[in-house]
A and B are shown apart, each in its own frame.
Chain A
Amino acid sequence: MQLVFNKPESLTVNPFTYCPGCSHGIAHRLVGEVIDEMQLREKIVGVSTIGCSVRCWRNFDFDIVQGAHGRGMAVATGLKRALPDQVIFTYQGDGDLAAIGMGETIHAAVRGEAITVVFINNAVFGATGGQLAPTTLPGQWTSTYPKGRDVSWTGSPINMSEILAGLPATTYIAREALTTPKNVLRAKKYMRKAFEAQTLHGGFGLVELLGSCPVNLKLKPVEALNWVEKNMIPQYPLGEFKDTGKEAAS
């Protein structure tokens, strides 16, 4: 018997506690695989933040610090400045990173902190039950705007990757959708490069992962993935927005 598929060493045996069809499970597995492959498990410190993934320390098998809502990149800044030889990353949702944590996010990127950010964008506040996020699409139903997002009242969705790529001190910024096997494999490649922005180039790397939240979208898991493909990708185009490490190498 040959073992062909196994749990990454960087994940614990604890079962995921996310809802059926939630993209966090895939994203967690990708983090585990990338950290294993880069052999970072013993020198990494993860920062978990507030939202559905607040207890990702149940599933990640390495040192974790849990930060306050929105402050992930400030906590990571303190960790990285204290531990310059270690690898520091945050795992943040769109409410955390782009609403309450906007200041911390922008300024960590402005400083070009040598940290990696795994950013899950599912266009909604998941843990609190489906309220409007800065990333919610125009017209999208939320529990706080049941008639759909009216951009004249609440503004338009914010494209974080494009904004952060425009800041001079960031090193690597990319976006992918966790919707198809092909996209998931590309997401893993981007995630690795977001870590390498830190490990090889001493810079700020971020991978934005478009994910689905079927419970709050009130869709079945497969329908929710289709919704992401059909509605989110046009608003949030996929690809690498910045890769200064590559530019430096060429």
Chain B
Amino acid sequence: MMKGNEAIGEAAIRAGCRFYFGYPITPQNELLEYMARKLPEVGGCFLQSESELAGASMLYGAAAAGKRVMTSSSSPGISLMQETVSYLASAELPAVIVNISRGSPGLGRITPAQSDYNQATKGGGHGDYNILVFAPASVQEMMDLTMLAYELSDQYRIPAMILGDGIVGQMMESVVLPEPVETIPEKSWAACGCQGRERNLVISAPFTDEDLIDLNRRLQEKYRVIIEREQRAEMIHTEDAEFIFVAFGIVSRLAHSVVDSLREKGCKVGMIRPQTLWPFPDDAFNRIPRAKGVLVVEMNEGQMLIDVRLALNGRVPVRHYGRGGGWVPSPDSIEAEMLKLMEEVEKNAVSL
């Protein structure tokens, strides 16, 4: 049995992360404290920073040295870190950032929410860039997606985010521990002293206007490859489903229980559960041949909704059920929303 926040820390260590920098904020402190306890035991470095700004820059420094690194925070702290996230993207540095998000905007409250979807999936900081965003829905997935985040972050030299919420961070579930990573790929680009080679530069701003345009082209090229290869989604009964939920993270667990109960009542419902929010699993929406209606359930005011609409491009009516500010829907209310959509579609009373 492990707590979600601690599972991320254990997976990071098993993935070879030896450097953690961070600043306390609820509801993710268990991760900070787990790293404080465990990293010294494996010869790693835990350092509590004076702010999220500094912690993110420490992360940037250790990432530039070629190490596997982690920082974590919650919504307001993640906003402060966006400065560095943009730098990580432009300097093409791998790093894993965890956001156990809370009800916002502003300070908000520590109640669980999914209101940081847009910030996470549309770059978050300034500039034309994206980062990998993973949405675990269980403690096991906290581990598995953290392991994957390190692998892909290194492979593509791109920052990666684990986007959770207060429930998935705080809940305890049994887990199968992933095998520790034996070898971490060599990073020939790292700035670690130029003995025996030409110097390495880890820089965010090229010298000329043309070089900066080239950097942007190269980043977009990389993003295209990632969009093509790295979309991940769990498909539940989608092959014959006429009505489909789309939900990520903790709320997908609730929606899944509604899928099961509606199936028992003979309704052909299913669910697409994005595991990567960026790249968004657009392809999954091409594999719902019988779909007549889609209900997006999220703990925000309609953020993933936009990506779902773009993926469907008007082919299927889309409805949204969600609130921001720390609201968690009950399975009954989710079921009621779906029944309402089904009725509207059957009556042809629905518009796109």
With both chains docked as a complex, state the minimum distance between the C-beta of B46 and any C-beta of chain A, in angstroms.
10
Contact A82 B203 (CB under 8 A): no
Contact A78 B203 (CB under 8 A): no
Contacts of B199 in A (CB 8 A): 61-64
Instruction: Name the contact of A65 in the complex, choosing from B83, B195, B202 (C-beta under 8 A).
Output: B202
Contacts of B21 in A (CB 8 A): 78
Contact A78 B205 (CB under 8 A): no
Contact A66 B54 (CB under 8 A): no
Q: A66-B204, A68-B87, A104-B50 are in contact. Are A78 and B61 (CB under 8 A)?
A: yes
Contacts of B50 in A (CB 8 A): 103-104, 107
Contact A78 B57 (CB under 8 A): yes
Instruction: Tell me which residues from 19 to 51 in chain B have a Cβ below 8 Å from any Cβ of chain A.
Output: 19, 21, 45, 47, 49-51
Contact A75 B207 (CB under 8 A): no
With both chains docked as a complex, state the minimum distance between the C-beta of A102 and any C-beta of chain B, in angstroms.
11
CA distance A64 to B201 in the complex (A): 5
Which A positions have Cβ atoms within 8 angstroms of B?
A: 41-45, 47-48, 54-55, 57-58, 61-68, 71, 74-83, 86, 103-104, 107
Instruction: Tell me whether chain B's interface is mostly helix, strand or loop, or mixed.
Output: mixed
Instruction: Name the contact of B57 in the complex, choosing from A41, A62, A67, A82 (C-beta under 8 A).
Output: A67
Please tell me if B91 contacts chain A, counting CB pairs below 8 Å: yes
With both chains docked as a complex, state the minimum distance between the C-beta of A248 and any C-beta of chain B, in angstroms.
25
Contacts of A44 in B (CB 8 A): 193
Contacts of A42 in B (CB 8 A): 193-196
Contacts of B145 in A (CB 8 A): none
Please tell me if B64 contacts chain A, counting CB pairs below 8 Å: yes
Q: A65-B64, A66-B203, A103-B50 are in contact. Are A78 and B192 (CB under 8 A)?
A: no
Instruction: Tell me which residues from 39 to 74 in chain B have a Cβ below 8 Å from any Cβ of chain A.
Output: 45, 47, 49-51, 53-55, 57-67, 69
Contact B54 A71 (CB under 8 A): yes
Contacts of B200 in A (CB 8 A): 63
Instruction: Name the contact of B193 in the complex, choosing from A47, A55, A78, A86 (C-beta under 8 A).
Output: A86
Contact A77 B65 (CB under 8 A): no
Contact A103 B54 (CB under 8 A): yes
Which B positions have Cβ atoms within 8 angstroms of A?
A: 19, 21, 45, 47, 49-51, 53-55, 57-67, 69, 83-84, 87, 91, 191-196, 199-205, 207
Contacts of A107 in B (CB 8 A): 49-50, 54
Instruction: Name the contact of B62 in the complex, choosing from A64, A66, A68, A82 (C-beta under 8 A).
Output: A82
Q: A75-B60, A83-B193 are in contact. Are A54 and B205 (CB under 8 A)?
A: yes
Contact B194 A67 (CB under 8 A): no
> What would 28 A/B residue contacts be, using CB atoms closer than 8 Å?
A41-B194, A42-B195, A44-B193, A45-B64, A48-B203, A61-B199, A64-B202, A65-B64, A65-B91, A66-B202, A66-B204, A71-B54, A71-B57, A71-B60, A71-B83, A71-B84, A74-B49, A74-B55, A75-B64, A78-B21, A78-B64, A78-B65, A81-B61, A82-B62, A82-B65, A83-B65, A103-B50, A107-B50
Contacts of B54 in A (CB 8 A): 71, 74, 77, 103-104, 107
Contacts of B57 in A (CB 8 A): 67-68, 71, 74-75, 78, 104
Contacts of A62 in B (CB 8 A): 193-194, 199
Contacts of A43 in B (CB 8 A): 193, 195
Contact B58 A77 (CB under 8 A): yes
With both chains docked as a complex, state the minimum distance between the C-beta of A71 and any C-beta of chain B, in angstroms.
4
Number of A-B contacts (CB under 8 A): 132
Instruction: Tell me whether chain A's interface is mostly helix, strand or loop, or mixed.
Output: helix
With both chains docked as a complex, state the minimum distance between the C-beta of A46 and any C-beta of chain B, in angstroms.
9
Please give me the residue from chain A that is nearest to B58 by CB atom.
A78
Contact B59 A78 (CB under 8 A): yes
With both chains docked as a complex, state the minimum distance between the C-beta of A88 and any C-beta of chain B, in angstroms.
8
Contact A75 B193 (CB under 8 A): no
Contacts of A63 in B (CB 8 A): 191-194, 199-202
With both chains docked as a complex, state the minimum distance between the C-beta of A170 and any C-beta of chain B, in angstroms.
16
Contacts of A68 in B (CB 8 A): 57, 60, 83-84, 87, 204
Contacts of A48 in B (CB 8 A): 203
Could you say which of B59, B87, B203 has the most chain A C-beta atoms within 10 Å of its C-beta? B203
Q: A62-B194, A62-B199, A66-B202 are in contact. Are A79 and B207 (CB under 8 A)?
A: no
| Shortest beta-carbon contacts, A-B, top 3 | A78-B61, A74-B57, A71-B57
Contact A75 B191 (CB under 8 A): no
Contacts of B19 in A (CB 8 A): 78, 81-82
Contacts of B192 in A (CB 8 A): 45, 63, 82-83, 86
Instruction: Name the contact of B207 in the complex, choosing from A55, A71, A83, A103 (C-beta under 8 A).
Output: A55
Contacts of B51 in A (CB 8 A): 103
16 further A-B contacts with Cβ under 8 Å, apart from A45-B193, A66-B203, A86-B193, are A45-B191, A47-B61, A58-B207, A64-B203, A66-B205, A75-B64, A76-B61, A78-B57, A78-B59, A79-B65, A82-B61, A82-B67, A83-B192, A86-B192, A104-B53, A107-B49
Contacts of B207 in A (CB 8 A): 55, 58
Contact A78 B191 (CB under 8 A): no
CA distance A48 to B64 in the complex (A): 13
CA distance A63 to B197 in the complex (A): 10
Please give me the residue from chain B that is nearest to A75 by CB atom.
B61
Contacts of B53 in A (CB 8 A): 71, 74, 103-104
